[in-house]
Structure 1
Amino acid sequence: MKHSNKVFIFTITILLFSLLACKNKQPKVNPDLASIDFKRGELLLCGDGQFGQLKFSLSCNYETREDFDLAVALLHSFQYTEAEKAFVKVIDADPNCPMAYWGVAMSIYHAAWFPPSNEELAKGFEVLRIAKELSMDDKQRDYINAIDAFYTDWQTVDHKTRAKRFETKMEGIYLKYTDDIEAAIFYSLALFSTRDRVGKEYANERKAGAILESLFSENPNHPGIAHYIIHNYDNPVLAQKGLKTARRYASIAPSSAHAQHMPSHIFTRLGIWLESIDSNLLSLESSKCYAEAAAFVGPYFEEIHATDYLVYAYLQKGDNVNAEYQYNLIKEYKVFHPMTLNAVTYPLTAIPARLALENKNWEQAANLQLHEMELNWKQFPWQEAIYHFAVAMGAVNINDFNKVEIEIEILKQLQQDLIAQNDKTKAIEIKQVEIQFKTVQAWLYFRNKNYEKGLALMQEAVELERNTSKHPVTPGDVIPAIELLGDMLLELNKPKEALIAYEENLKRHPKRFNGIYGAAIAAKQSGNPKKVKDYFNQLIELTKDSNSNRPEILEANEYLKNNAI
């Protein structure tokens, strides 16, 4: 019995020493980590911190798995700063966890957005250099090598080529590990990042959407699946397929400002304006919460992005009061965080342009001013072009032709500036500026009574628009070329042709206020009372819950009252 007690005590002593040794053992830290400017600090998670559910730890220490999975969830909702901070938290706790380095590199890549800066690329390259020296299993090595394919030779190889490399590597992982949900999800994201940004076939989007839809029923609370379905279906052809998912995503990741906003991409494509408004009002609140927690000077970019979609939705409901109110909340700001994102710079020229052009307030459009802020607009030719397009459209309709000619030359130069950037990710932007200066030139010919030449050039602009995809940051064209063609045809007393143009416009841009009104007037002038009533009734239905002062609604009510039978 005494011998048994001695053995027991000895065993317990050994176990205690072993546990203390493990507890006191510090992970080996690579000194190179100190040279990397990692994002650190407390995670700024507004609301109740819900970002969806997933499990993707890949053999890191058990104690870090909760942080790692949160980091991946943040990554899937494009909370890139907080995602990097969460991955770095894992690195600090377990510097030998290869996938934490993978996560930092993925947070820097932000595949569905703008390309990383040179500083970010250098940082990602160095992070992966350290990661590749760690011990890891084959699967981890495959993930590391996949994202490394994007960063390799970043100084000499263009973004599009490197993004395609990543896609190819992710396809290999997807096919190799057929039971790995995250492999399928990140492969779908890679497909989206290499999509044809100009054409209308949507081959990558269809393929990615099919993969994601096959996963959604068994993973209904996964933020990446829902989010990337919306991105892939954010176009007029596929939007209906994304509606069910759009109505779920916000509840999957309620603490993400981006998750609150993203459903409105689908609502906008389908003309579901009330849901778009509700979605973006929630996103505004989340964005303000994050900006306050981060102590930013000026709004967080998600607030400006949501405002852009919000103003667009209010305008389609004829609600100028709320559209102008939302713009007034941001128009005096001089600083945004961060300053140079498309989601900041685009709305600051597009929103005032829309407010003037949608209301055909030509005097207002002709006298617009660029938003004054700590930014050199010459570095953003696509965004600046929107401002010059609006000014030109205003000027041409108040017969200030000298001003129009100046603006046309500026637009042409801005397109050349875009081309000179030699950035293949800006193909849509180049096409959109071309559509703009052709549209303005068409109306300049038209206002100078060269109707044939004006109509021909307007049709060229429309054809170019037909074959150009929507830019992912925008709720839609500032004003569709096909809608302006309808306006021109009406002025030429060709109402039947105008009606065809307006109806084509409504197929691509459902429930646009001016599209419906234009179709009603074209039908009226064509002698088609059935369609007149149909379109005017649509206009009344569209605006019934908004306090609109648009004269078009008064006209619609008057017509329906006088033609009740």
Structure 2
Amino acid sequence: MRKLLPITLLSLSVLILLALRRGSQPIYIAGRPGVSAVGSDLAAVGCAPAPDLSAMRVDGQGKFAPFFIGWGHYSYKVHTNIDSAQLYFDQGLNLYYSYHLTEALASFKEAARFDPECTMAYWGQALSMGPYYNSYTYKMPAAVLSVLEQMNRTAANAPEKEKALVNVMGRRYSADTSDSQRKQLNRDYAEGLLQLMGRYPDDIDLKALYVDAVMLEHSWDFWTGDGQPKSWTTELVDDCNAILKAHPSHPAALHYKIHLVEASRHPEQALAAADSLQVVMPGVPHMVHMSSHMYQRNGLYAKGIDVNDKASQLAVQYDTTALNLKLGLFAQTHFDGVETYCALNANMYVKAIQTSYHLRKIILRSYKSRLANPFFQYLYMMPMMAYVRSGKWKVAMDEPAPDSSLHYASLLYEFGKGMACLRLHHMDSAERHLARLRLWLKDSSLTVRIMPFNAPIEGAKIAEAILAGEICFSKKDYKGAIRWLEKGVTVEDGMIYREPKDWPIPVRHYLGDCLLKLHRPADAEKVYREDLVHNPGNGWALVGLGRRAEYKKAFAKAEEVPTASVY
């Protein structure tokens, strides 16, 4: 007789009061010269925090994982006679595809609890404990070795394909707990999956796992600065398209395609995937949020706001549904960061302030120690970016200075205050703020790059370029103004893509505005058209181009439609 999953009172667990709990993720040290050892801080923007192995405790009912609602219906059949083991394996695989690694690992452990002889339940655990999308900070957990032993022990009775998957998973790890050969192990694992694809060409999940494996070798590195695909990118996009042709709602292909094309010059090719994700996986926080990657890249900022609101609510549901996993709400720092970026670009000032202060509150309440990371200082200063983007100069003047130990936050504060003073015609004060900004610019800590993203010095140089350029323009040093702003454009164009972007207000918006004021409309038009290549559909460039019908639509939910590309 087959064992069935007890789901009594399941819906009640989902209706638990959404109390705001907080948890923390483990920190993995990169440990390489010139690279910040910030570890899981990357999860705030990198979408793939490591699974928290310390949280793998059972709940009061002896379960590793609850049944999470809303992950869809996708199933990959494995060798088991126990329905509950299959169900939790499917939940684990879908959550792995969604970058919910802690929940995935717990689900695979729950599958093994129902069927201790299910080889794929251990294979799934090994999958979840491997490199994640921010592989620069990964180090193999020692606990994976015992999982591999259980996987190999049960494989004797597994079907041939599962034995093959076990063998390939074995190539992903070694007994060397220092993980010194990680790069080669990642390559061996990807090559093993490629070989399996040849043996089982109709198995689209092997193709999805291969795409995942190669993406992990090249995290955030799929396009050149001038919009050309890297040598590995086209194959991966083609693989995703092939999967979607066979199964249009495959969760991994929808997710991975967005990551693969979001930094391209044609992000619109994954808009359909973004829309589908919300239908396919309506209850999974990260997958709902993933739609906003495409919405903000295609100028659909209001839609980006909506899905991040939903994702934040779902994160609370996950946290309260699985108290034993101590998930916390760290993901909200990412959701709020992207939502604020969307609100800035939509000129939805009220929403930008609401979300950016919520983000600041989360950081101060639960993740204050992470302010050592300059990117968290950038997130912390998002309210100041909202003041500058929407021209709220008097409010900016009242913004208190951050703690002086926060060097990058202090630099961004000087930028915002300098812009406010300039727009309020306090030139001397604006120049004093620029001078203080330049003192912070000398801080060597800003040159440390947090792999695989940008060093904060790049955002700092853009802040200097905008403020210096605008001061020059106000002093009628027009050549100096253009020179500074063009310098800022060069820095901005050289930055690695991430979301939210490391600098939220395109320098071209300032450059184009200056050129229009200098009665150089042809030059301004060129600048704005270039901006639309980098930031498709954004209303600010459309205002600069005078394309009224389009920018009115772009700012449909704004408190006011701007009359220029900058305030």
Work out whether the TM-score is over 0.5.
yes
Q: What's the counterpart of residue 468 of structure 1?
A: 495
The residue that corresponds to 1:316 in the other structure is: 345
Is 2:132 the counterpart of 1:107?
no
Matched, 1:193 2:216: yes
Aligned counterpart in structure 2 of residue 182 of structure 1, from 177, 189, 205: 205
Contact 1:147/1:166, CA 8 A, preserved across alignment:
yes
- Contact in 2 for aligned 1:350/1:478 (Cα 8 Å): no
Cα separation, 1, equivalents of 2:70 and 2:257: 23
Structure that is richer in helix per residue: 1
Superposed counterparts of 1:505-516, under 5 Å: 505-516=531-542
Distance of aligned partners of 1:97 and 1:417 in 2 relative to their CA distance in 1, 3 Å threshold: farther
Is residue 298–residue 336 contact of structure 1 (8 Å, CA) maintained in 2? no
Q: Distance in 1 between matches of 2:414 and 2:183?
A: 29
Aligned equivalent of 1:406: 436
Give the conservation status (yes or no) of the 8 Å contact 2:397–2:417.
Answer: yes
- The alpha-carbon distance between structure 1 residues 145 and 388, as it changes in their structure 2 partners (threshold 3 A), is farther
Q: 2-side partners of 1:192 and 1:505: how far apart?
A: 28
- Which residue matches 1:501? 527
Residue 126 of structure 1 deviates from its aligned partner by 3.5
CA 1:141–1:292: 2 relative to 1, 3 Å: closer
Paired residue for 2:294?
266
Conservation of the 8 A alpha-carbon contact between 2:346 and 2:555 = yes
Give the alignment partner of residue 426 of structure 1, picking from 438, 441, 453. 453
Gaps of 5+ in 1: 1-15, 20-35, 521-534, 556-565
For the pair 1:542 / 2:563, whether they are aligned, the reply is no
**Amino acid corresponding to residue 57 of structure 2 in structure 1:** R
Residues 245 and 393 of structure 1: CA distance in aligned 2, closer, same or farther (over 3 Å): same
Match of 1:210 in 2: 238
Structure with the bigger RCO (C-alpha within 8 Å, sep 6+) is 2
Question: Residues 84 and 103 of structure 1 are in contact (CA less than 8 Å); yes or no, is this contact kept in structure 2?
Answer: yes
CA deviations 1:475-525 (Å, max 9, x no partner) are 6741112223223434544333122212211232133233222333xxxxx
State the Cα RMSD in Å.
4.0
The letter for the 2-side match of 1:405 is A
Deviation by residue 1:267-311 (Cα, 9 ceiling, x = unmatched): 111112343233223223212322333569997133343333333
| 2:303 alignment counterpart | 275
Q: 1:253 offset after TM fit, Å?
A: 1.0
Q: Which amino acid aligns with 2:107?
A: A
Q: 1:46-445 alignment to 2 at 5 Å?
A: 48-57=69-78, 59=79, 62=82, 64-95=85-116, 97-109=118-130, 111-113=132-134, 115-116=136-137, 121-123=140-142, 125-127=144-146, 130-131=149-150, 134=153, 136=155, 138-148=163-173, 154=178, 156=180, 163-164=186-187, 166-195=189-218, 196=221, 199=224, 200-203=227-230, 204-294=232-322, 300-333=329-362, 334-336=364-366, 345=376, 348-349=379-380, 351-362=382-393, 364-365=395-396, 368=399, 390=416, 393-394=419-420, 399=427, 400-413=430-443, 416-419=446-449, 424-427=451-454, 431-440=458-467, 442-443=469-470
- Residue 437 of structure 1 deviates from its aligned partner by 4.7
Partner of 1:482: 508
Flag the 1:323–1:117 CA change in 2: closer, same or farther, 3 A. same
Going from structure 1 to structure 2, the CA distance change for 1:305 and 1:38 (only over 3 Å counts) comes to: closer
Q: Would you say the 8 A contact 1:350–1:387 is kept in 2?
A: yes
SS in 1 for 2:213: helix
Q: How far 1:185 moved relative to its partner?
A: 0.5
Gaps in structure 2 of 5+ consecutive residues: 3-52
| TM-score where L is the length of structure 1 | 0.73
Give the Cα–Cα distance (whole angstroms) in 2 for the partners of residues 160 and 453 of structure 1: 47
Q: What residue is the counterpart of 1:32 in the other structure?
A: none
Amino acid at match of 1:134: R
Letter in 1 for 2:489: V
Amino acid at match of 2:535: H
Size of the alignment, in residue pairs? 490
Structure 1 residues 294 and 91, CA gap change in structure 2 (3 angstroms): closer
1:7 matched to which residue of 2? none
Verify the 8 A CA contact 1:197 1:427 in the aligned structure 2. Answer: no
For the residues of structure 2 that align with 1:444 and 1:164, how far apart are their CA atoms?
51
* 1:46-105 CA distance string (max 9 Å, x none): 5x3433402053x46655222112111111112222111111223444555554344234
Shift in Å, 1:441: 5.2
Counterpart of 1:552? 563
Indicate how the Cα distance of structure 1 residues 308 and 371 shifts in structure 2: closer, same or farther if over 3 A, else same: farther
Paired amino acid for 2:559: S
Identity %: 19
Residues 462 and 481 in structure 1, CA contact (< 8 A), matched pair in contact too? yes
Residue pair 1:234, 1:269 contacting (<8 A) in 2 also: yes
CA shift, 1:435, in A, is: 4.3
Q: Distance in 1 between matches of 2:417 and 2:172?
A: 44
Cα deviation for residue 364 of structure 1 reads 4.6
Equivalent position amino acid for 1:548 in 2: E
Match of 2:559, SS state, is coil
Q: Is the 1:438–1:461 contact (alpha carbons within 8 Å) kept by the matching residues of 2?
A: yes
Q: Is contact 2:375–2:456 with CA below 8 Å preserved after alignment?
A: no
In the alignment, what sits opposite 1:524? none
| Distance in 2 between residues matched to 1:362 and 1:320, nearest whole Å | 13
Question: How far does the alpha carbon of each residue in 1:289-345 deviate from its partner, in whole angstroms, 9 at most, with x for none?
Answer: 223335699971333433333333334333323333334445434334898599993
Q: Distance in 2 between matches of 1:459 and 1:122?
A: 47
Deviation at 1:130, TM superposition (A): 3.4
